[in-house]
Structure 1
Amino acid sequence: MKNFIGLQFFLLFLLPITMLGQTPKKDLAKLTYDELKKSFWDNERTPKKQLEYANAYLVKAKEENMPIEKARGCFLLSLVLVSENDKALRYLDSAIVYTKDLNDTKYPAYAYSGKGYVYKRQFKYKEAINNFLIAENIAKNNNLDLYYDTKFSIATLRSEELGEVNEALYLYKQCFNYYKNKKIRTPEYSYSYQQVIFALADAYKALNQTDSATYYNKLGYWESNFTKDYEINALFTLNEGANLVLKKSYKTALDSIKKALPKMIFYKNNGNILASYFYLGKVYDGLNQKDKAVRNFIKVDSLYNVNKRITPEFVSGYPYLISYFKKNGDKENQLKYITKYMFIDSILQTNYKELTKKLQKEYDTPNLIIERESLIESLNNDKIKTYWGLAILFIITILATALALYQYQLKKKYRSRFEKIINKSDELIENQDVNSEVKRIKTNITKIEDIGIGEELIKLILAKLNRFEKENGYLESNITVQMLSTTFETNSKYVSRIVNVHKGKTFVQYINDLRIEHAIIKLKENNKLRKYTIQALALEFGFNNAESFSTAFYKKTRIKPTYFIKKLDVV
């Protein structure tokens, strides 16, 4: 229930437009920029007309050679062509080129934010985040509204697509604290403010903190009712209905969802029409009306067939359908929904999404494959499926089996690496055998003879390095070989060479390995640290950001820090 969010940067473009009257379609070249923009947005549900106005806007800007207006024209065209990803990206890149040196309060930040949204639609989350961060960085200095709007876009991506709800919640709260001090019932801020309220309610619902979700649903309902934003108002009603399902208040939930569904249909909000049917299914299941629950979960599947978009939140209807048809001996429908469920699971995994732990426990891939093969055999014996149908199903099964085996082997490797780390008390396993280690030591002895440093100086620097390690000097962020050499009162080349020879690694690798070894010990000893975010842990252990910490951790241990922490909590 979050499909109404994510387009807010489009709306920011709309806000500065003055309240002009409807412009009749005449000679578009004679219209002003504001009139063209107004006409563009007045035809929001008519893309062909929007395309005419956007093209006219860009033509006018090029004729008058106005860089900022050329950028806006390109941006408008990207909105119309948002479903044609490559074209939209080309126009947004042009907008960036036109305005990169203008220091405008909106461009090129809008264009970078627009690119983030396009990449998000393509499931290219890394590229999306990168462009949102560029937009956020630009806006931070000259447009705080856009800065927090972009921060919100980053939060929704992390929450909806990557499942990082706690991290997103932290960002949502920052946005909420910013907007609540604005004129929240004016057109300029009401929509953004209500979006943030909805995001908070939805995040708390996802975390099963139902009382907090109810608080923000009620606040959002009140605010959207005051500003007469009826679609968002209905979304708060629907979201509270879903929240009441978690509270098992099924009758009250049913009333809320039935009130919201007609409005979702009226506004053609396909994502939340699907959400409405999903939670109706959950309600009827809670009321023990299984047939009605099945009818609603089938409607969810029908909407997926049309729109080809679904999030992990709404996938649990498929195991319900599989179980229902299995109990009723309907093998054909049982097989149909197993096939669909496995296909959606593979798509979600490809797009870096994950099914919930509950779904994984109820219908993990190996069990589905076994059940699928049994059904195929049964249907074949009954001559229900044709030869080609069985061949296709067989190929899908083979592919699914290969995927399951690959995931199993990967998990097995991770478990093995984790156990090696846990069982090693003073140092980490470096994935080197004894022979290779002996060879390295012999090589180091040979190198010592060639480095051209006196033996006494080597001993002195090694002693200082030993003290540096014992005093945890490596936890200081931004430590460099030059800084350490100054502290040691010696030449940086000497320190670098001695680290290379005696430690068998570069200076950067030496520092990072010390930090990771320290991090592993502390995470094992202190369970409070395990509750930190990856960003907070990075700073705690001397790294400047989460990415550099995660990279160094994986390079040292061959597992990700999130996996290591998760496994520590269950050891």
Structure 2
Amino acid sequence: MNELINSKSITYKTYGYAATEYLKTKEKRKLNQQFFKDSIYKYLPRIAISPENYSILFDIYILLGNTNKRRKKLEQALRYYLTAETFANKAEDIERMVKIQSNIGLIYQDIGSLNKSVLQLKKALNFLDDHKKSLGEKYYQRRFKTLSNLGNVYNTIYQEKNTNNVYLDSSLNCFRNILNDKNFKLTADKTAKIDLCLGTTYSLRKEYVQATDFFEKALSYFKNKKSQSDLYKTHYNLGVNYFNSGNLNKAKQNLLELFKVKKNDDLDTNLVNAHNYISQIYLEEGNIDSARYYFKKYKKIFTIVSENEQLQKKTTKNLIQFNDLEKRIKKLSNENQNYSIAISFLIALLILSIFLIAKNNKEKKKTRLRLEELLLSVTNKNIEKESNSNITINDKQHQEIIKGLKKIENNLYFLKEEFNLYNAAKKIGTNTTYLSKVIKVYKKMSFSEYTNHLRINHIVKILSTDKKVRAYTTQAIGEIGGYKNAKSFTRIFKKHTGITPYQFIEKINTEV
């Protein structure tokens, strides 16, 4: 990579920077993120968008996507993957197209867009089938990964909704297709991974005995192989399976083994939840000191994990168990009143945290919904248009004023600097009092609101159709709609749409 960075070729130099950044991020080596970012974006725009560069541009963008995925910058990773997909399509490179389709499916899962993830992975499977001959042996390698990923997404959807067994049926179908098709030529490693997946699915179906058989087979293989990450997953899933089936002793054994296997400092939902399960098990055993110890660790690591939005969503729901946990700790504890007050204060803090997190998530959800509404209107070319066809006007003078307003809208007079109530009334041939009244009655808004309504809709239309404008500054975009102050424009845009101009541009660049 250093040789590539030092080469005279702009293309190889950019690839060298992107690959080095990814490798160092993957191996958790120290690196100057700003330096690599500046270096990559210094050279990347200078690479010619030509057929001979399509493949290496794909490789650069997928590296950038992988780097951001490891840094938990999932939205940014998705944008890079989507760009990589365009170059794979341009190059008509079947293998690269298959690879990126699966990557996009997985990133949708990480973001929480599970239905999109399913659609993307199904699309990848269909694409694989269409190009089975040209892919040769790689067809089954890719099909194995895509089918197993799809099965895991179905399991995740069931865990999120927890209502419809059809998702678990679909999951089982994916994993059974792999096991029953001899063309996959499964190695012992791949067989163990599918056993782990099947164990998880049967456990979700509450078929704990059958789940245990698959988990134990997988565990036996991973122990011999000494695969830390696979052992970690298996001990967790087996521990939860035993916990749910009522075998608390076996559950404790596996969850404690999980803590031994977890050598690094990376936090995830499994580690958070494992402390919760262990605390409950010790309470059942009457071991108050151990229960309190794991309860405190649970609280500590949840505080850290809650800073990550994706992990926060998966762990917040478990905090409702804290009330019950606190009561049981009080009942079994012989400590003095001061300790009881401290525990109550801790629980109060946790409940407050739940409330604040829930409130924050609600606000984010509202913003996402508004973004989706705007994007839907953009995609369907259906941004709100001014229409008077549904207005019944009996007064002839009112009809003339409405016609005058329609001309103002069609001629974009509302973008002029001199546009105000007085000049609008003069142009239409009426007075300001009458014009205000007509707008209030038929438009259901004040003249000021009407002006902002027209201007913001005009800006939204331009942003949705002109990529160049989306690269302008907020000040420049505001001036298109007749706003001279960026701060004032941002405030009015958010009041009208529910989101900021930056949020709208960022999302539309991804979706449109």
TM tier, smaller: 0.5 to 0.7
Separation in structure 2 between the aligned mates of residue 368 and residue 554 of structure 1, nearest angstrom: 42
State the Cα distance separating 1:361 from its structure 2 match: 5.3
CA shift in 2, pair 1:512/1:399, >3 Å: farther
**In the alignment, which residue of structure 2 is the partner of 1:258?**
216
CA shift in 2, pair 1:303/1:187, >3 Å: same
Separation in structure 1 between the aligned mates of residue 251 and residue 222 of structure 2, nearest angstrom: 20
Summarize the alignment of residues 95-494 of structure 1 with structure 2, pairs less than 5 Å apart.
97=43, 100-101=47-48, 103=50, 104-142=53-91, 143-159=93-109, 161-183=110-132, 186-208=136-158, 209-222=167-180, 226-265=184-223, 269-304=227-262, 306-312=263-269, 315-354=272-311, 360=316, 363-364=319-320, 367=323, 400=350, 403-404=353-354, 406-407=356-357, 458-462=401-405, 464=406, 485=410, 491-493=411-413
CA shift in 2, pair 1:394/1:111, >3 Å: farther
**Aligned residues of 1:109 and 1:138 also touching (Cα < 8 A):** yes
State the Cα distance separating 1:334 from its structure 2 match: 1.5
State the Cα distance separating 1:117 from its structure 2 match: 1.6
**Aligned residues of 2:215 and 2:234 also touching (Cα < 8 A):** yes
State the Cα distance separating 1:163 from its structure 2 match: 2.6
**Aligned residues of 2:64 and 2:77 also touching (Cα < 8 A):** yes
State the Cα distance separating 1:410 from its structure 2 match: 5.3
CA shift in 2, pair 1:225/1:175, >3 Å: same
CA shift in 2, pair 1:226/1:403, >3 Å: closer
Higher relative contact order (Cα pairs below 8 Å, separated by 6+ residues) = 1
CA shift in 2, pair 1:403/1:558, >3 Å: farther
The two structures have a TM-score, normalised by structure 2, of 0.63
State the Cα distance separating 1:124 from its structure 2 match: 1.9
Give unpaired runs (5+ residues) of structure 2.
159-166, 368-396, 425-438, 440-446, 461-490, 501-512
**Aligned residues of 1:197 and 1:216 also touching (Cα < 8 A):** yes
CA shift in 2, pair 1:114/1:138, >3 Å: same
Separation in structure 2 between the aligned mates of residue 301 and residue 144 of structure 1, nearest angstrom: 42
**In the alignment, which residue of structure 2 is the partner of 1:505?**
452
**Aligned residues of 1:109 and 1:136 also touching (Cα < 8 A):** yes
Note the aligned Cα RMSD (angstroms): 4.7
Separation in structure 2 between the aligned mates of residue 294 and residue 553 of structure 1, nearest angstrom: 54
CA shift in 2, pair 1:222/1:412, >3 Å: closer
SS class of match (1:350): coil
CA shift in 2, pair 1:363/1:400, >3 Å: closer
Separation in structure 1 between the aligned mates of residue 361 and residue 17 of structure 2, nearest angstrom: 47
CA shift in 2, pair 1:397/1:355, >3 Å: same
State the Cα distance separating 1:301 from its structure 2 match: 3.5
**In the alignment, which residue of structure 2 is the partner of 1:45?**
none
Separation in structure 2 between the aligned mates of residue 553 and residue 86 of structure 1, nearest angstrom: 39
**Aligned residues of 2:235 and 2:255 also touching (Cα < 8 A):** yes
Query: Which amino acid counterpart does residue 337 of structure 1 have in structure 2?
Result: Y
Query: Which amino acid counterpart does residue 348 of structure 1 have in structure 2?
Result: V
**Aligned residues of 1:200 and 1:216 also touching (Cα < 8 A):** yes
Query: Which amino acid counterpart does residue 402 of structure 2 have in structure 1?
Result: K
Query: Which amino acid counterpart does residue 326 of structure 1 have in structure 2?
Result: L
CA shift in 2, pair 1:79/1:116, >3 Å: closer
Separation in structure 2 between the aligned mates of residue 493 and residue 335 of structure 1, nearest angstrom: 69
CA shift in 2, pair 1:276/1:366, >3 Å: closer
**Aligned residues of 2:114 and 2:157 also touching (Cα < 8 A):** yes
CA shift in 2, pair 1:405/1:381, >3 Å: same
**In the alignment, which residue of structure 2 is the partner of 1:11?**
none
State the Cα distance separating 1:218 from its structure 2 match: 1.8
Separation in structure 2 between the aligned mates of residue 510 and residue 72 of structure 1, nearest angstrom: 41
CA shift in 2, pair 1:101/1:228, >3 Å: same
Separation in structure 1 between the aligned mates of residue 61 and residue 450 of structure 2, nearest angstrom: 44
Separation in structure 2 between the aligned mates of residue 332 and residue 200 of structure 1, nearest angstrom: 42
CA shift in 2, pair 1:397/1:315, >3 Å: closer
Separation in structure 2 between the aligned mates of residue 58 and residue 494 of structure 1, nearest angstrom: 55
Summarize the alignment of residues 33-52 of structure 1 with structure 2, pairs less than 5 Å apart.
none
CA shift in 2, pair 1:186/1:326, >3 Å: same
Query: Which amino acid counterpart does residue 117 of structure 1 have in structure 2?
Result: N
Separation in structure 2 between the aligned mates of residue 373 and residue 288 of structure 1, nearest angstrom: 20
SS class of match (2:309): coil
Give unpaired runs (5+ residues) of structure 1.
1-53, 384-389, 418-453, 466-480, 486-490, 514-550, 561-571
- Deviation string 1:305-357 (CA, Å, 9 cap, x unpaired) is x2333543665433322222223332222222222322333333321125678
SS class of match (2:452): coil
State the Cα distance separating 1:302 from its structure 2 match: 3.7
Separation in structure 2 between the aligned mates of residue 285 and residue 203 of structure 1, nearest angstrom: 23
2:14 paired with 1:58: no
State the Cα distance separating 1:416 from its structure 2 match: 13
Separation in structure 2 between the aligned mates of residue 327 and residue 156 of structure 1, nearest angstrom: 38
CA shift in 2, pair 1:238/1:90, >3 Å: farther
Separation in structure 2 between the aligned mates of residue 242 and residue 552 of structure 1, nearest angstrom: 50
State the Cα distance separating 1:234 from its structure 2 match: 2.0
Pick which of 218-227 and 135-144 moved more: 218-227
**Aligned residues of 1:338 and 1:368 also touching (Cα < 8 A):** no
**Aligned residues of 2:105 and 2:117 also touching (Cα < 8 A):** yes
Separation in structure 2 between the aligned mates of residue 167 and residue 552 of structure 1, nearest angstrom: 32
- Deviation string 1:358-414 (CA, Å, 9 cap, x unpaired) is x6555328738966996999657799xxxxxx99x9998797566345346658989
How high is the sequence identity, in percent, across the aligned residues?
Answer: 18
Separation in structure 2 between the aligned mates of residue 105 and residue 226 of structure 1, nearest angstrom: 31
Separation in structure 2 between the aligned mates of residue 224 and residue 76 of structure 1, nearest angstrom: 36
State the Cα distance separating 1:74 from its structure 2 match: 4.4
Query: Which amino acid counterpart does residue 340 of structure 1 have in structure 2?
Result: K
- Deviation string 1:5-56 (CA, Å, 9 cap, x unpaired) is xxxxxxxxxxxxxxxxxxxxxxxxxxxxxxxxxxxxxxxxxxxxxxxxx54x
**Aligned residues of 1:201 and 1:214 also touching (Cα < 8 A):** yes
SS class of match (2:306): helix
CA shift in 2, pair 1:223/1:129, >3 Å: same
Separation in structure 1 between the aligned mates of residue 499 and residue 16 of structure 2, nearest angstrom: 47
The two structures have a TM-score, normalised by structure 1, of 0.57
State the Cα distance separating 1:216 from its structure 2 match: 0.8
